[in-house]
């Protein structure tokens, strides 16, 4: 199979996982990627990632600390996979596009809506592909929920509920996830959920939101939960406590273009938590929007069907060849490599778009809408009124984002 030469930019925690994703892809008959170069402003992070790549993929990629040099020195480099922290996404992605490279960038597309707009303009001017690595919708459970909605299994959806509220005051993976101008927790985690909500129910038109910072001091967790060497080293170097200024708890109502409403409760703070997801339709309901490693169930006429029973009752549900190869049972739950397989899917999709002139599913416009939906909650809370998605997506309501944009010089 023809392979696209790819560079990875940003070799931290998730960058390392992307290499494990390429390893998953390399084990399938669909491998269309050759990882030839790594770039990180911190050379030691790129070195660690190169060790992983050599071990997993059998060849050691070249190491760079400068993107421009990487593009000049790597013949045939077609695209980059950008996995830096979100505050650098717009700078790195715009530079890559201007160098003539196609780009996949991790979610959130950018630190603010303005950052997303700059990236969209750069992709348009360069005539290059811009793909957003949003993985939750690629899970078989999200595909199945989407199939049920599209084929009318629950009739017209009129209401949804998306609750993911964890208790606690620990540092969530990295200190930057608690800093507003680095991409706070609600943006970083929440875009997965706004993307899922939009994937299942279509565009959002209006938002009323409330946002709070409940835990202004965050503490180092007792234990590191990942055995990747990068995460171990970072955990060892982490301060015992940090100051947080990014909101950590949000509540909102989304009004959708199709007339449905979605009730949102997302955060990680305080002493109580709750979780639950459902999509209510005129003729039934789906428990769950789907998502990484998830399952759903279907209620119709007083009967509940499990994920397995839905699959058996809906033989018309099919998955693309790579997903079907990686998840032959149609269920990702319990598969320890689910996260890595979804990354493999996204990497394959980018290379297929470059090599075979195909479209990517989550492009810059989709990525901007996901980021804008999060800022709609935060802007609504600042302005103490409901906001329209049009004013958020156009940048006309940006009180919350202004200081972030000013700090980054992109206002």
Ligand X SMILES: NC(=O)c1ccc[n+]([C@@H]2O[C@H](COP(=O)([O-])OP(=O)(O)OC[C@H]3O[C@@H](n4cnc5c(N)ncnc54)[C@H](O)[C@@H]3O)[C@@H](O)[C@H]2O)c1
Which residues contribute to the site for ligand X (CB under 6 A)?
Answer: 9-15, 39-42, 45, 83-86, 88, 92, 106-107, 135, 173-174, 188
Q: How far apart are CA 309 and CA 157, in angstroms?
A: 21
DSSP 131-149: EEE--GGGSHHHHHHHHHH
Angle between helices 185-201 and 140-150 (to 10 degrees): 40
Q: Closer to ligand X at the Cβ: 12 or 281? A: 12
Q: Closer to ligand X at the Cβ: 11 or 260? A: 11
The minimum distance between CB 312 and ligand X, in angstroms, equals 30
The minimum distance between CB 67 and ligand X, in angstroms, equals 7
263 forms bridges with which residues in the sheet? 161, 253
The minimum distance between CB 63 and ligand X, in angstroms, equals 12
Q: Closer to ligand X at the Cβ: 53 or 397? A: 53
Pick the closest to residue 80 from 5, 149, 159 (CA basis).
5
Q: What angle do CA 296, 298, 300 make, to 5 degrees?
A: 175
Q: Closer to ligand X at the Cβ: 10 or 284? A: 10
Q: How far apart are CA 231 and CA 49, in angstroms?
A: 12
Q: How far apart are CA 368 and CA 361, in angstroms?
A: 13
Residue 383 near residue 210, CB atoms below 8 Å: no
Encoded tokens for 66:
């400068």
- When CB distances to ligand X are compared, the closest residue is 12
Residue 19 near residue 81, CB atoms below 8 Å: no
The minimum distance between CB 18 and ligand X, in angstroms, equals 9
The minimum distance between CB 42 and ligand X, in angstroms, equals 4
Q: Closer to ligand X at the Cβ: 11 or 408? A: 11
Q: Closer to ligand X at the Cβ: 40 or 52? A: 40
The minimum distance between CB 125 and ligand X, in angstroms, equals 21
């Amino acid at each position: 199979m023809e392979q696209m030469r790819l560079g990875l930019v940003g070799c931290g925690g998730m960058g390392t996982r992307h290499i494990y994703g390429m390893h998953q892809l390399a084990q399938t008959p669909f491998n269309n990627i050759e990882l030839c170069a790594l770039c990180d402003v911190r050379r030691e992070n790129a070195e660690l990632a190169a060790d992983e790549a050599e071990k997993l993929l059998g060849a050691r990629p070249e190491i760079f600390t400068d993107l421009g040099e990487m593009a000049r020195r790597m013949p045939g480099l077609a695209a980059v996979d950008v996995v830096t922290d979100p505050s650098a996404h717009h700078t790195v992605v715009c530079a890559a596009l201007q160098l003539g490279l196609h780009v996949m960038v991790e979610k959130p597309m950018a630190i603010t809506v303005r950052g997303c707009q700059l990236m969209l303009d750069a992709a348009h001017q360069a005539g290059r592909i811009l793909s957003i690595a949003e993985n939750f919708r690629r899970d078989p459970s999200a595909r199945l929920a989407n199939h049920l909605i599209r084929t009318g299994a629950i009739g017209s959806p009129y209401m949804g509920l998306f609750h993911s509220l964890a208790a606690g005051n620990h540092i969530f993976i990295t200190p930057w996830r608690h800093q507003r101008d680095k991409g706070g927790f609600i943006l970083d985690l929440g875009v997965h959920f706004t993307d899922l909500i939009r994937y299942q129910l279509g565009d959002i038109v209006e938002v009323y939101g409330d946002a709070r910072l409940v835990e202004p001091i965050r503490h180092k967790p007792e234990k590191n939960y990942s055995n990747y060497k990068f995460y171990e080293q970072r955990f060892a170097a982490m301060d015992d406590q940090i100051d947080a200024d990014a909101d950590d708890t949000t509540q909102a109502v989304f009004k959708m273009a199709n007339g449905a409403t979605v009730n949102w409760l997302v955060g990680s703070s305080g002493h109580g938590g709750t979780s639950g997801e459902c999509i209510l339709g005129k003729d039934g309901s789906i428990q769950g929007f789907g998502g990484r490693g998830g399952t759903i169930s279907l209620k119709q006429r007083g009967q509940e069907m499990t994920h397995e029973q839905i699959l058996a009752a809906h033989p018309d549900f099919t998955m693309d060849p790579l997903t079907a190869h990686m998840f032959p049972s149609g269920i990702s739950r319990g598969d320890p490599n689910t996260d890595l397989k979804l990354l493999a899917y996204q990497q394959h999709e980018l290379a297929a778009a470059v090599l075979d002139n195909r479209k990517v599913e989550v492009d810059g416009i989709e990525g901007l809408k996901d980021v804008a939906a999060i800022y709609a909650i935060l802007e609504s809370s600042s302005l103490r009124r409901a906001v329209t998605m049009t004013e958020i997506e156009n940048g006309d309501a940006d009180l919350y984002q202004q200081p972030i944009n000013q700090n980054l010089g992109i206002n």
